[in-house]
Each structure stands twice: as structure tokens, then as C-alpha cells.
Amino acid sequence: MIAEGDKLVFRNTVTGTHQGDYMGVPPTGRSITYREIMIVRFTDGRIAETWGIVDVLAQMKQLGLIPAQKALRP
């Protein structure tokens, strides 16, 4: 976590089970884990804006919407 001026930046890991409609995808019941980086800007001690970088590719792979790549052999 890094705080400077009116901004806070942090990285976190999200885990959960796909139990509801998500981006048009009906529930799969699959467990997923992915990472995010969040940036939050404060004004007068309250959150004024947020920005997020979310690993959507990891989400889609774990939901089975994008096939996992096979490892290349040397």
C-alpha cells in the first residue's frame, strides 16, 4: 500500500465463487482468484474517485471462457 498526497494505491487478491450473472455469463459455480491494483483519491476525508486495474483475462480463463494455453516444451 502506498499513500501520497490525496491518493492511495494498493494491490489485492480477490477470491470468490461465480454464483450470479457476470458480464453476460450465467453462473458456473467455479471458484476464481485474480489480482487487482486500485487507486483511490480522497477529498475532505472521503473517497472522491477510484480507478482499478483488474485481471479480466484471469477471470475469463478460470470461468472457462478462454482456453488455457498449453506450456511450450523446450
φ, ψ for residue 68, nearest 5 deg: -70, 140
Question: Helix or strand or coil: residue 46?
Answer: strand
Q: Which fold has domain 2-62?
A: Nuclear Transport Factor 2; Chain: A, (3.10.450)
Query: Range with the lowest mean pLDDT among 6-10, 19-23, 31-35, 45-49?
Result: 19-23
CA 18 to chain centre: 13
pLDDT, one tens digit per residue, over 24-63 is: 889 999 999 999 999 999 999 999 999 999 999 999 999 9
Question: Helix or strand or coil: residue 34?
Answer: strand
At residue 25's C-alpha, the angle toward residues 22 and 28, to 5°, is: 95
